[in-house]
């Protein structure tokens, strides 16, 4: 199985605190630096689960970009796309209960253009997975539409993760839904808040509602199935939804839930 993803490759700085931040004072924390970005995370987990994984995106030629690209490659992912400029960096603050808050700088990632793409990159893939963040900025939104067309022409299915309810609300739910219809996804992933931002359903034959510790709901062809999450001690929830998406694309709902549980049991968004 070959899975291609399109979106951001960022440098993640994860800070797990022993207690909540105190303004003007210090708290003890554990830190980790590594590659991140929603599309890159999905590719890394797909490779970990045995798929041939390809990431497509623009990344920087600075130290952050070289670190992120080298680390993603070490996970067995083929990294494609133009290089140049300043790479994005995300700081993820993780509370003692595993809840995380992020400060995101996407760097050059949104500058990916449709002219940067080679249709051959998508040949042989069963899935193209597009991060919803890639639909909210130009020119990467047009690149996403072009990639979806290349993928469908090559016989691949297209999946989209909605990514963010607040940005969908700011962008305009109707406008965002119109973009999704142009992409024609076979499968959409989203949290309850993200799906509600679109009116409660996605314009796709199948969608997966991510419900955190409660598990997932899978809606397909008019049917609805709720599946509980396996028990796990949450160390860091960063990337759990990306691990879940990779598992679902590779092996379905059961593998999706098991992979998400693996992700939250450690620090970091990648295997």
Output the furthest CA–CA distance in the chain (Å, rounded). 56
Active-site residue identified among 8, 116, 161, 242: 242
Cβ partners under 8 Å of residue 249, min gap 6: 3, 42, 46, 51, 126, 127, 129, 159, 187
124 C-beta neighbours (distance < 10 Å), count: 14
Q: Strand 29-36 vs strand 10-17: parallel, antiparallel, or unpaired?
A: antiparallel
- Residue showing tokens 């999450």: 229
Q: Is 12 a catalytic residue?
A: no
Q: Which two tokens stand for residue 61?
A: 């030629």
Which residues carry out catalysis?
242
């Amino acid at each position: 199985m070959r899975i291609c993803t399109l979106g951001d490759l960022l440098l993640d700085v994860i800070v797990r605190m022993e207690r909540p931040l105190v303004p003007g004072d210090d708290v003890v924390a554990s830190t980790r630096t590594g590659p991140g970005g929603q599309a890159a995370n999905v590719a890394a987990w797909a490779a970990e689960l045995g798929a041939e994984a390809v990431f497509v995106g623009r990344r920087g030629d600075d130290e952050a970009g070289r670190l992120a690209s080298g680390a993603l490659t070490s996970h067995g992912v083929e990294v494609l796309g133009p290089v140049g400029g300043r790479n994005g960096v995300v700081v993820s603050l993780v509370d003692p209960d595993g809840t995380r808050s992020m400060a995101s700088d996407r760097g050059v990632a949104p500058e990916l253009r449709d002219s940067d793409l080679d249709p051959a990159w998508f040949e042989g893939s069963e899935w193209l997975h597009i991060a919803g963040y890639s639909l909210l900025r130009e020119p990467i939104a047009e690149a996403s539409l072009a990639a979806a067309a290349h993928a469908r022409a090559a016989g691949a299915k297209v999946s989209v993760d909605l990514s963010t309810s607040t940005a969908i609300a700011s962008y305009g739910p109707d406008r965002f839904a119109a973009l999704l219809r142009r992409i024609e996804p076979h499968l959409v992933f989203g949290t309850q808040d993200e799906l509600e931002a679109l009116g409660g359903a996605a314009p796709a034959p199948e969608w997966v509602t991510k419900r955190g510790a409660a598990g997932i709901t899978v809606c397909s062809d008019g049917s609805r199935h709720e599946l509980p999450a396996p028990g796990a001690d949450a160390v860091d929830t960063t990337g759990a939804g990306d691990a879940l998406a990779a598992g679902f694309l590779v092996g379905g709902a059961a593998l999706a839930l098991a992979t998400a549980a693996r992700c939250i049991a450690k620090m970091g968004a990648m295997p």
